[in-house]
Structure 1
Amino acid sequence: MTQWYYNIRTHEVEEGKQSLASELDGPFDSREDAVRAPEIIAERARKWAADDAKND
C-alpha cells in the first residue's frame, strides 16, 4: 500500500519517503489527505489542546 507524506519544507506531497523524516508529516493513506496535511494537523493540535485544558 502506498503511503503519502507532506513535506513541511517544500510544501509538496511525496509518494513514499523521498525526503528526510524531519521534513515529513505523515504517513497518510491517500494523496488527498496528504494535500490536506496542514489542515489535518492544525485540527489535531486544537483537539489535543482542548483535551489538555479539560485535564488541568
Structure 2
Amino acid sequence: FVHSEVYTDNTATTPAPAVDASGLTFEPSIFLVGADGIVVERFDVVVDVSELRDRIATIA
C-alpha cells in the first residue's frame, strides 16, 4: 500500500513529485499490483470497498 499526497502545499497548486512522475491528472487513482510487481488493474474512480476487495481477491 502506498499513499501519496496530491499537492505539496496548502493552496493545492503544486503537484507532488509522485503525482508528476506517474502522469496523474486527477484523483483518486488506485493501482492493483501483483506479487511480481506488475500493475494488473487501475481504477480512476471512487470504488466501493466490496468491489475493491473482490478485485484484490482475484490477484492474490
Q: TM-score, normalised by structure 2?
A: 0.24
Structure showing greater relative contact order (alpha-carbon pairs closer than 8 Å, 6 or more residues apart): 1
Higher helix share: 1
The two structures have a TM-score, normalised by structure 1, of: 0.25
Which is richer in strand? Answer: 1
